């Protein structure tokens, strides 16, 4: 019985310590007490395959497609 009381008190004290609210440290980097704003990304901020297709259509034409292809092949072989 004494063992169960000791274990119950130990578990209770562990819960109290674990659930205690964390206080900010005195040397924190925030100034003025203002919280930093969360970063909000819009779908337009993230490039998609369609964005790259549009750029490729502008950059590559019927007259320069061979040179562009050679450039891409050189980049790929240099990465190996």
pTM beyond cutoff 0.75 = no
Residue range 2-32, pLDDT digits in tens:
788 878 877 877 777 777 667 766 655 555 5
8: left (phi over 0), alpha (psi -120 to 50) or beta: alpha
Distance of CA 23 to the CA centre of its chain: 25
Residue range 36-70, pLDDT digits in tens:
888 888 877 788 888 888 888 888 898 999 999 99
């Amino acid at each position: 019985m004494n063992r169960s009381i000791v274990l119950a008190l130990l578990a209770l004290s562990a819960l109290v310590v674990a659930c205690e609210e964390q206080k900010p440290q005195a040397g924190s980097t925030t100034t003025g007490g203002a919280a930093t704003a969360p970063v909000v990304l819009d779908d337009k901020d993230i490039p998609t395959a369609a964005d790259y297709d549009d750029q490729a259509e502008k950059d590559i034409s019927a007259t320069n497609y061979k040179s562009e292809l050679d450039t891409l092949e050189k980049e790929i072989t240099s990465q190996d």
